[in-house]
Amino acid sequence: MARKEIVERIERLKRRKNAIIFAHNYARPEVVDIADVVGGSSTLIMAARETSADMIIVGGVDFMAETVAILNPDKKVILPDRSAICPMAQQLLKRDLRKAKRENPDAEILLYMNTYAETKALADCICTSDNAVHISENMDGGSPLLFGPDRGLVYYVSKRTTKRIIPVPEYGFCPVHCQIALEDILTAKEAHPGVKVVGHPECTPAVQDQMDYIGSTSEIVKYCRDSEDTEFLVAAEVGLLHMLKKVAKEKTFHIISNTTVCPMLKIPTLMKIEEALDREKYRITVPKEIAAKARAPIERMLELAPRAI
Ligand code: SF4
């Protein structure tokens, strides 16, 4: 089936079923182009709370669909392919979090959005990469924070907060952002002297230290769009280039490493989205008790940092 035909079918199915499509900034360009909402976790969460659609198709990975389902227990939340899983979210196990809490009973638990419902259910608060510093500063009292799973984000927040951060697990990471090596960034800077480097806090500390601006995917897009600079080196997943070029056509973007691809976020294709709409597969649900416990720390995040990027 030609792409135009698939897109038309998607539009028809959307109207018929009162459905909406979410896509992460790193999704395939053709998926980004047909999505109703495109963004990082913050944007998708805010949209998930506000939509009046009956069905939400998530062009992302499992924990994103799960989070949307936590916030929308009465809607049909569909992940087009169950194999779209986030290896970072898998690195934080319930038992490791419980053990860390036993060892640090005074600590509060702050978890990155990139976690599963059953671990979110143990948290005091959730954060995204664009509000993590603000949230860490505004959680109660001076308790240390058990924070995970991403070590890059832990490094980024630790440098900017007054709170003591204890990483859980000790070395959680995003296998995609961690592919960007210090050598890559140094080589790119040498080839493009004076050009600003923008990047994501899931990158390694050594790579972050080379950046002029660090932010979530949506923050990077906004920063580049609004900046007076016209050329940027980008330390993020290659998919972000599509969004950057969409919002700042006249500017030049050089991706630091072409191999920085999240295979999981490329799994949802147009055909899979069309099939997901048609067959309403795969529906993502979270058991009521876990959803209620996981919703509380998400709501707390929204109280402490209500602004979406
Ligand atoms: S980019 Fe990293 S954190 Fe995001 S979905 Fe892919 S593996 Fe998970």
Residue 16 is encoded by which pair of tokens? 């018929």
The residue with tokens 């669909």 is 65
- Ligand 1 proximity of 68 Cβ (cutoff 6 Å): no
Same fold, 89-174+292-304 and 177-261: yes
Evaluate whether 35 touches 242 at the Cβ level (below 8 Å). Answer: no
What is the Å distance from ligand 1's center to 15 Cα? Answer: 31
Q: What phi, psi does 53 have (nearest 5°)?
A: -65, 155
For 157, half-sphere exposure in the C-beta direction (CA atoms, 13 angstrom radius) is: 33
Q: Whose CA is nearest to atom 6 of ligand 1?
A: 262
pLDDT at 140: 82
Residue 309 pLDDT: 47
Residue type, 149: P
**Measured between alpha carbons, how far is 263 from 86 in angstroms, rounded to an integer?**
10
**Domain range annotation of the chain:** 3-85+265-290, 89-174+292-304, 177-261
Q: Strands of 108-112's sheet, edge to edge?
A: 125-127, 108-112, 145-148, 165-167
Q: Which fold has domain 177-261?
A: Rossmann fold (3.40.50)
Query: Is CATH 3.40.50.11540 the right assignment for the domain spanning 89-174+292-304?
Result: no
Q: Which two tokens stand for residue 187?
A: 């080589």
Using the mean position of ligand 1's atoms as its centre, give its distance from the Cα of residue 176 in Å. Answer: 6
Closest Cα to residue 169, out of 207, 118, 237, 119? 119
CB of 87 closer than 6 A to ligand 1?
A: yes
Picking from 267, 281, 274, the residue whose alpha carbon sits closest to that of residue 5 is 274
Q: Does domain 3-85+265-290 have CATH number 3.40.50.10800?
A: yes
In a 3-state reduction of DSSP, which class is residue 260?
Answer: coil
CA atoms within 13 A on the CB side of 263: 5
HEC readout, 93-124: CHHHHHHHHHHCCCCEEEEECCCCHHHHCCCC
What is d(CA 277, CA 254) in angstroms, rounded to the nearest whole number? 35
Please indicate whether residue 262, judged by its CB atom, sits closer than 6 Å to ligand 1: yes
Going by the DSSP 8-state scheme, the letter that residue 283 receives in this structure is B
Pull the structure tokens for residue 144: 């240390």
Per-residue model confidence (pLDDT) at position 306 = 67
Q: Which residues of 279-299 are buried (b: 16+ CB within 10 A; e: fewer)?
A: eeeeebebeeebbebbbebbe
Per-residue confidence (pLDDT) for residue 1, from 0 to 100: 74
User: What is the mean pLDDT, run by run of 10 residues, along the chain of 309 residues?
Assistant: 93 98 97 96 89 97 97 96 98 97 97 98 97 94 93 98 96 97 98 98 98 96 98 97 96 96 98 98 97 97 78
CA distance 120 to 110: 9
